[in-house]
Structure 1
């Protein structure tokens, strides 16, 4: 088996594990939190910016604050960027920006999910470890 085949198989297994991760995991520690500001913005080019705060402790891998937004159909979520997180027990601000690839987001009511997630490489494959998740109703305004 070639190295390319092995790497392709490992990457496929990692994606399968990430896809099988729970959609709304509980916080690993009650001290770990993520918040979403009640207002987000939409730039003239359609770029959405969301923000809030997070706090997490102890990590052994890369940690990110990811966010997604949904309008009208809650089963359709648009990923809105990701920010590298520092898990030092202190509260930090986060802000993510991204342009939905389909179905533009419009000003008005929306639902946001923000997640603090670590990719931990214990055992060789990067596995997700969730630090905190927040679902929040927000208002999107034109900037």
Structure 2
């Protein structure tokens, strides 16, 4: 597996587990989650929304996770690249959950707009925006 998706998944999972928001984030930076997510017959979950962020110095990603019956159990649902140019853009992440089946119905999403800023050997994460929202998973 390529290093970039693994690094993104690990950083997103670690940061989504925290309740802290983006300290010092620009108030014009936003991240939303659509109120309805999709669950395909094969179990693929698709989440979407919008984001707006200001230019940075490193690559930026939208990461998302979903929980259902037990809020302590979060399932990473993909990650996608983001373009930070001050304009509003759509994001969409898809993924399958291997350990536990999710079903149509109420769910909770956490999403993060995260930049990996170059700081020597290892890039450090910097939050642009973080959001949480209750949604409905609808069967395709």
Q: Could you say whether these structures have the same fold, taking a TM-score greater than 0.5 normalized by the shorter chain as the test?
A: yes
- Per-residue CA distance 1:86-105 (angstroms, 9 max, x = gap): 01000000000000121111
Q: Is the 8 A contact 1:39 1:138 kept in 2?
A: yes
Structure of larger gyration radius: 1
Match of 1:26 in 2: 21
Question: Following TM superposition, by how much is the alpha carbon of 1:125 offset from its aligned partner in structure 2, in angstroms?
Answer: 1.2
RMSD of aligned alpha carbons: 1.9
Match of 1:66 in 2: 63
Match of 1:112 in 2: 109
Q: 1:41 to 1:24 in 2, by over 3 A?
A: same
TM-score by length of 1: 0.83
Residue correspondence of structure 1 range 1-143 to structure 2 within 5 A = 19=14, 23-27=18-22, 28-143=25-140
Return the alpha-carbon distance in structure 1 between the equivalents of residues 133 and 14 of structure 2: 22
Question: Following TM superposition, by how much is the alpha carbon of 1:123 offset from its aligned partner in structure 2, in angstroms?
Answer: 3.0
Question: Following TM superposition, by how much is the alpha carbon of 1:124 offset from its aligned partner in structure 2, in angstroms?
Answer: 2.5
* Structure 2 residues not aligned, in runs of 5+: 1-9
Return the alpha-carbon distance in structure 2 between the equivalents of residues 99 and 21 of structure 1: 18
Q: Secondary structure at the match of 1:29?
A: coil
Return the alpha-carbon distance in structure 2 between the equivalents of residues 100 and 38 of structure 1: 20
- Per-residue CA distance 1:52-105 (angstroms, 9 max, x = gap): 000010211110001110001111000000110001000000000000121111
Q: Is the 8 A contact 1:109 1:139 kept in 2?
A: yes
Q: Is the 8 A contact 1:21 1:128 kept in 2?
A: no
Q: 1:140 to 1:22 in 2, by over 3 A?
A: closer
TM-score by length of 2: 0.85
Return the alpha-carbon distance in structure 2 between the equivalents of residues 138 and 59 of structure 1: 30
